[in-house]
């Protein structure tokens, strides 16, 4: 299973599934991270955390722990 945490800077991926439950899953959906949406990885912090991505036209920073919950292709 490939997650958003494994994606390299400059890659564009498609969300297959958002794992997690309750408030965490709801927070991802509120940010526009849903099945089928495209995510472009813009930057990685020097130590790799957080990851800066573009989702549905806006920029978003995600912690690695959160990025690990997003399965991508």
Residue range 9-21: mean pLDDT, rounded: 93
* % the chain with pLDDT above 70: 100
Q: Token pair of 12, please?
A: 């564009």
- The distance in angstroms from the start CA to the end CA of the chain is 9
Residue 73 to residue 26: CA distance in whole angstroms: 21
Residue 17 to residue 42: CA distance in whole angstroms: 21
Residues 22-56 pLDDT 10s: 898 899 999 999 999 999 999 988 887 899 999 99
Q: Which of 72, 49, 47, 46 is nearest to 62 (CA)?
A: 49
At 46 the pLDDT is: 84
């Amino acid at each position: 299973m490939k997650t958003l945490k494994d994606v390299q800077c400059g890659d564009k991926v498609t969300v297959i599934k958002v794992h997690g439950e309750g408030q965490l899953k709801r927070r991802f959906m509120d940010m526009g991270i849903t099945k089928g949406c495209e995510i472009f990885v813009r930057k990685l912090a020097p130590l790799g955390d957080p990851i800066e991505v573009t989702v549905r036209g806006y920029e978003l920073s995600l912690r690695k722990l959160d990025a690990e919950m997003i399965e991508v292709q």
